[in-house]
Amino acid sequence: MKLEDFRAKQAESAASEEELHEALEREFHVIGRRLRRTDGLAKSTGAAVYTDDIALPGMLHGKILRSPHPHAKIVSIDVSAALALKGVHAVITGSDMPETFGIIPWARDEYPLCLDKVRYVGDGVAAVAAVDEETACEALDCIEVEYEVLPHFLDPEEALAHPETPIHDPKKPGQNGNISKQVRLEFSYVDALMEQSDAVVEGEYYFEGTNHTAIEPHCAIGYFAPAGKLTVWSTTQVPHYLHRELARVLDLDVARVRVIQPPIGGAFGGKSEPFDLEFCVAKLAMITGRPVKILYTREEVFYAHRGRHPMLMRYKTGAVSDGRIKAVDAKTILDGGGYESFGLVTTYYSGQLITAPYTMESYRFDSTRVYTNKPCCGPKRGHGSVQPRFAIEVQLDKIAERLDIDPIELRRRNILEPGARTINEFRVNSNGFLQCLDAVEDAADWRAKYRKLPYGRGVGVAGSCYISGTNYPIYPNEMPQSAVQLQVDRSGRVAIFCGASEIGQGSDSMLAYIVSEELGVPLDYVRILSADTDLTPVDLGAYSSRVTFMCGNACIDAAQKIRQQVQQAVAEEWLCRPKHVKLAGGWAFNALDTEAKVPISEAFNMAEAKYGALGATGSYNTPKDIHGSYRGGTIGSSPAYSFTAHVAEVDVDSETGFVEVQRIWIAHDCGRALNPILVEGQMEGSAYMGFAEAIMEEHIFKETGLHNAPSLLDYKIPTSLDTPEMHSLIVESIDPEGPYGAKEAGEGPLHPSIPAIANAIYDAVGVRIDRLPFSPPRVWKAIQQRAEVD
Amino acid sequence: MIEAIQLTVNGDTREVGVPSHYTLLETLRYVLGLTGPKQGCDKGDCGACTVLLDGVPTLSCILPLQEAIGHEVTTIEGLADRDAPHPLQDAFDITGGAQCGFCTPGVLLSAAALLTRSENPTREEIRNALSGNLCRCTGYTKIYEAVELAAAALREERASQEEAP
């Protein structure tokens, strides 16, 4: 096609004169509009290619042999019979990769395959590669492993009491080997201020563990090219960290490892660190010279886990008679399972992330993460803070009751002012929490319902805040947290290269909207290549709700560099000022005279003629002076915080204890909604996931260490019939540092679901259920006990 | 053992060699290369593998291949019958009904079956029709909106066809 034809084609999709005038009047012409995703049709037509959809020529199938014991020494492994099996190409054990890995550099405690000890039922001990899945399974049956069984602990308090049987070697001599991490921090004088309180409420709360349960199971493919280069396709949210860990564990040059992350079928934190299968496919590919794929079964997903930590939380909260919080004292035990994962961070988060949206005059937390012989816990949507949020928000409800203050009013009286620092010294910039409270109060018709509905029906409120990315990367370095590279084609097409992980949240689309906004190209002229470590600049990954804030800012940085060149080149041609050259709707036009316009591709050509090939990189790094001045004060600090309030309305059947959540009103301050459809999708998905944890999910184990329900039939997650009606209310506080003012929306809106439902149950039937989930037997029993007391 | 069987998928009848123990899902994904239907649990629990068997939503991961012989199988790849996407596919794109997209092919086929038997389904009917398809991203709201939007588009399409001479 000739250049002119390209231009003509593009002009067809450009905006009309009328639309251009409109674009001039609006602050944004793309941002804030209810647009389609860039990958929506690929997904709804089945064209999107996920990891397990990839089949390479000559590909072998791998399987991992897993421990049947929760805690045992490996005495010997005999793989000879498996190797002798027809169709088996390789068998590996722990000694083939005798190097630990882990997401936190100073807490690496897992081997790709166990070396000398297993720590939970499901720990991997050997892996095979065979011509097909059946042969691989048969080979696993032929591997002989001799174990020396050790005492095992499923309960963290029991594990703490038995340091003589350490699940891991103690971190320091003399320490209890069953302690993974302990953090104690106190801000101001808790004991003294507790004494000055008019109302003191104490409570013990238990949050049951839950699994992410993405519908796509983990999958990885390894391919080792004859020239000595390893490629791993994986369902990972953190391609950059996986890249580093693969090179380190397999002792390969980083330059000879490539990680590609195809579209992911859900993650929610469950794919945010390296897993055994990635190392195994890589090693098996290196040994066999053939591509090797491993796909977890659903059962393996439950055992690989890294889900929400069970937490036992003892809270004491004091307030004065007008409702202001004087003191919060928290003691928390986290059940970590067999390994470290993000445990160090989870332990801090369990205390550090609850100091907003409320001011508190003093605060102390004491959190201990304990190893147990169960699948390892890790980060799940709302990492580390969903559990304590349940405790603190129910505590507030109890205080409001005690002081006879409306619980929404009580929250208003304690609100952290915009621009204030939290008691643990975090800077909080934009803060729309007050508007969130107002929004749910109005939408839910709160005043007409609270304490006024008939017995069995009730409403409850809760609030929360969450980080928009962590201020510091997982491995200390001074480099940007995120980078984007743009390349402009002569046809008017713009290609975006970015390491960001599209996990369903819409990060690819977000980048496309920004480029379309800044460079005036129609959305279908934007191409996105993301999360391929050979081709894309580093982004640290899809965790801690950092992508929109950080990649978005990096993308604006890159796009504005190109925009300035284009404006300059066109201005020289038109003899006008560069600032009057506007790029929007597929055109470059003169803001003072919209008759003067050229297709955007022509404008790009002018700039290319003047400057040479058009391209730019952009990056983002966090401000470094916004955290606490104490040890651990960086953990939990973020460039911006989102805020949420929920009102839940429930029906409780007092005969059966069955809680039916009818509606949840979700107000979320996301800074600016770059695309309200995607923001609402995150709000509804989050509220759904919190509701699920409140009402039905239980990641629990039998005495033997076996999972109680490792299937999607027995591990209950809500169907369309279970899920409540949800109403999304977007609040836009416009953050001074976010991209166009945006903050996160992916994790924050989950937090208030659980306490709002708990508080609504109390409003409905007058019982406090301080233990998750709010299942019919538990609720029924509480109602019975209350009846007996009455 | 490889068996030669005749299978009708998305309108094409083909002779294919398939290991005799394969399910319909394995055959579609590994033999025919139709990767639209997904494997989420391999036990018939999640619905990601849903295909239409003579128009009826069916869990292909637990359907022995023999039971598909002689029936019309429709996968997500065969839903659109023209150059353009099916109104349901377009509607999912408009309302944000797909996030990660992994359950989407199954959800869409269950919805397509609903729309062939009910041209203006209520919210309750939609919830019932989709109750066998687990979605972990959306909380279902935007999926309902998509089905309602597609139903309206299909009604409009039918009305304009009836008006045409």
Radius of gyration of chain B (CA): 16
C-alpha B56 chain-centroid distance = 9
Residue to substitute from B42, B86, B103, B140, interface A, most A β-carbons within 10 A: B140
Interface contact B2, partner A, CB < 8 A: no
Q: Which CATH architecture has domain A3-30+480-620?
A: 2-Layer Sandwich (3.30)
Provide the token pair at B68. Answer: 């598909």
Q: Which domains does chain B have, with CATH numbers?
A: 2-78 (3.10.20.30), 87-160 (1.10.150.120)
- Summarize the confidence of residues A357-381 as an average pLDDT: 98
Distance from CA of A327 to the nearest CA of B (A): 37
Provide the token pair at A214. Answer: 């993405």
A712 CB neighbours in chain B (<8 A) are: 40-41, 43, 45-46, 134
Distance from CA of B165 to the nearest CA of A (A): 32
Alpha-carbon distance A317 to B61, whole Å?
52
Q: Is there a contact between A215 and B100 if contact means CB atoms under 8 Å apart?
A: yes
Residue B82, C-beta contacts closer than 8 angstroms, at least 6 positions apart? none
Distance from CA of A178 to the nearest CA of B (A): 34
Alpha-carbon distance A63 to A296, whole Å?
8
* Residue keyed to tokens 């980078």: A483
A80-91: burial string, b at 16+ Cβ within 10 Å, e else: eebeebeebbbb
- Is pLDDT larger for residue A348 or for residue A594? A348
Q: Helix H segments across A342-445?
A: 343-352, 386-403, 407-413, 433-443
Interface contact B71, partner A, CB < 8 A: no
- Put the strands of the sheet holding A325-337 in their side by side order: A179-187, A362-371, A325-337, A311-319, A199-207
Q: Is there a contact between A266 and B97 if contact means CB atoms under 8 Å apart?
A: no
Alpha-carbon distance A649 to A660, whole Å?
9
Query: Looking at the partner chain, which of A134, A265, A297 has a beta carbon nearest the beta carbon of B102?
Result: A265
- Put the strands of the sheet holding A229-234 in their side by side order: A88-93, A124-130, A60-66, A292-295, A219-225, A229-234, A257-260
Distance from CA of B159 to the nearest CA of A (A): 25
Tens digits of per-residue pLDDT, A751-771?
999 999 999 999 999 999 999
Q: How far is CA A439 from CA A446, A448, A729, B86, B164, in A?
A: 10, 15, 7, 38, 48
Identity at A441, one-letter amino acid code: E
pLDDT higher than 90, residue A492: yes
Burial bucket for residue B4 (CB in 10 Å: 0-12, 13-18, 19+): exposed
Query: Looking at the partner chain, which of B90, B131, B142 has a beta carbon nearest the beta carbon of A721?
Result: B131
B45 CB neighbours in chain A (<8 A) are: 298, 711-713
Query: Looking at the partner chain, which of A55, A217, A265 has a beta carbon nearest the beta carbon of B101?
Result: A265
Q: Is there a contact between B127 and A263 if contact means CB atoms under 8 Å apart?
A: no
C-alpha B150 chain-centroid distance = 15
The pLDDT score that the predictor gives to residue B104 is: 98
Dihedral sign for Cα atoms in the order A181, A187, A192, A195: negative
Alpha-carbon distance A336 to A671, whole Å?
34
Alpha-carbon distance A743 to A619, whole Å?
17
pLDDT higher than 70, residue A166: yes
C-alpha A765 chain-centroid distance = 34
- Summarize the confidence of residues A414-421 as an average pLDDT: 89
B128 CB neighbours in chain A (<8 A) are: 720-721
Q: Which H or E element spans position A584?
A: strand A581-584
Query: Looking at the partner chain, which of A46, A687, A712 has a beta carbon nearest the beta carbon of B76?
Result: A46
- Phi/psi for A629 (5° steps) reads -90, 10
B79 CB neighbours in chain A (<8 A) are: 45
Interface contact B131, partner A, CB < 8 A: yes
Q: Is there a contact between A717 and B132 if contact means CB atoms under 8 Å apart?
A: no
Tens digits of per-residue pLDDT, A697-717?
999 999 999 999 999 999 999
Q: Is there a contact between B100 and A40 if contact means CB atoms under 8 Å apart?
A: no
pLDDT higher than 80, residue B82: no
- Residue A308 per-residue DSSP state: B
Interface contact B32, partner A, CB < 8 A: no
Parse chain A into domains and list their residue ranges. Answer: 3-30+480-620, 52-150+218-295, 311-472+628-789
A507 CB neighbours in chain B (<8 A) are: none
Task: Work out the pLDDT band at A9, boundaries 50, 70, 90.
Answer: low
Residue A726: name the closest of A646, A653, A651 by CA: A646
Tens digits of per-residue pLDDT, B112-143?
999 999 999 999 999 999 999 999 999 999 99
Residue A725: name the closest of B126, B150, B120 by CA: B126
Output the CA angle A337-A341-A346, nearest 5 degrees: 85
Residue A416, C-beta contacts closer than 8 angstroms, at least 6 positions apart? A356, A357, A358, A359, A422, A428, A431, A433
B143 CB neighbours in chain A (<8 A) are: 720
Query: Looking at the partner chain, which of A266, A295, A677 has a beta carbon nearest the beta carbon of B102?
Result: A266
3-state secondary structure of A350: helix
- Summarize the confidence of residues A128-157 as an average pLDDT: 98
Interface contact B22, partner A, CB < 8 A: no
- Say if A52-150+218-295 and A311-472+628-789 have the same CATH topology: no
Residue A671: name the closest of A736, A735, A737 by CA: A735
Tens digits of per-residue pLDDT, A655-669?
999 999 999 999 999
Q: Is there a contact between A46 and B105 if contact means CB atoms under 8 Å apart?
A: yes
B99 CB neighbours in chain A (<8 A) are: 266, 504-506, 681, 685
Say if residues A509 and A37 touch (Cβ distance below 8 Å): yes
The percent of chain A in helix, strand and coil, each rounded to the nearest 5, is 30, 25, 40
Beta-carbon contacts below 8 Å between A and B: 176
Query: Looking at the partner chain, which of A264, A506, A684 has a beta carbon nearest the beta carbon of B142?
Result: A684
pLDDT higher than 60, residue A1: no
Residue A201, C-beta contacts closer than 8 angstroms, at least 6 positions apart? A315, A316, A317, A318, A395, A398, A399, A402
- Summarize the confidence of residues B84-109 as an average pLDDT: 97
Distance from CA of A38 to the nearest CA of B (A): 9
CATH of domain A52-150+218-295: 3.90.1170.50
Query: Looking at the partner chain, which of B39, B80, B97 has a beta carbon nearest the beta carbon of A45?
Result: B80
The pLDDT score that the predictor gives to residue A4 is: 67
Task: Work out the pLDDT band at B83, boundaries 50, 70, 90.
Answer: confident
Q: How far is CA B95 from CA A718, A729, B30, B81, in A?
A: 21, 16, 32, 22
Tens digits of per-residue pLDDT, A595-629?
889 999 999 999 999 999 999 999 999 998 888 89
Q: Is the ipTM of this complex over 0.85?
A: yes
Alpha-carbon distance B7 to B27, whole Å?
10
Q: Strand A526-530 and strand A494-498: pairing?
A: parallel
DSSP per-residue letters across A472-512: S-SS--SS-SEEEEEEE-TTS-EEEEE----SSS-HHHHHH
Query: Looking at the partner chain, which of A49, A503, A711 has a beta carbon nearest the beta carbon of B43?
Result: A711
- Summarize the confidence of residues A17-46 as an average pLDDT: 89
Tens digits of per-residue pLDDT, A32-90?
999 999 999 999 999 999 999 999 999 999 999 999 999 999 999 999 999 999 999 99
Dihedral sign for Cα atoms in the order B150, B154, B157, B163: negative
The fold of the A311-472+628-789 domain, in CATH, is Aldehyde Oxidoreductase; domain 4 (3.30.365)
- Summarize the confidence of residues A710-730 as an average pLDDT: 97
* Residue keyed to tokens 């799940």: A380
Tens digits of per-residue pLDDT, A451-476?
999 999 999 999 999 999 999 999 99
Alpha-carbon distance B41 to B49, whole Å?
9
Q: If you average pLDDT over every residue of chain A, what do you get?
A: 96
Q: Is there a contact between B98 and A677 if contact means CB atoms under 8 Å apart?
A: no
Residue to substitute from A36, A37, A43, interface B, most B β-carbons within 10 A: A43
Q: Is there a contact between A505 and B99 if contact means CB atoms under 8 Å apart?
A: yes
Residue A533: name the closest of A282, A718, A287, A256 by CA: A256
